[in-house]
Amino acid sequence: MIRILHEDARQLAIAVGRREPGKTPTRMALRQDSFLILALWRLRCGARRWRIPGVNHLLRRVQTVVFGIELGNEITLGRGVFFVHPIGIVVGGDARVGDRVRFMGSNTVGTARDDGCPVIEDDVVLGAGARVLGPVRVGRNAVIGANAVVLTDIPPYSVAVGMPARVVRDAGAPLATDAVAAMVAYGEG
């Protein structure tokens, strides 16, 4: 568990992109709510795996009350997932979230019907209020604009905006180096 948390800290430091002289990635990560949320979620997973009664439920309530985030029991979170503004984020069902995915706030990842849950690949940015619903795949390095509703697959290195989301920049077009700048430039919201 310590090794996994250290890797989360390292990946989170990469996702945040800040380098502070004399500070280890772990020290930098400890100042981020994202790291604490990931640590609680990993402890919840450990409590379920080790069959410690009540701990998962208690820690889930702590996450919800303290951070305003709801992470389901069956989800998979990659390393260094960055919850920029955790209030209102819901990840449910058996959704799979890759490494260094950025949640900007008030996001929903899951399903409205029991037809499957999303797979979000590595280094994706989900704009504020974005929803990813159903058995869809969001490709690596994609940017989902603010308030977009993703109901179909999004290719890697794409920018998708709108309700329902449509790709406005495809995999063949170069993206801005800063994914957040790309979201602002091509997003609706």
Q: Which residues are catalytic?
A: 85
Long-range contacts of 128-134 (CB under 8 A, 24+ apart): 128/85, 128/104, 128/189, 129/105, 129/189, 130/104, 131/107, 132/95, 132/107, 132/108, 133/108, 133/109
CA 102 – CA 15 distance, rounded (Å): 8
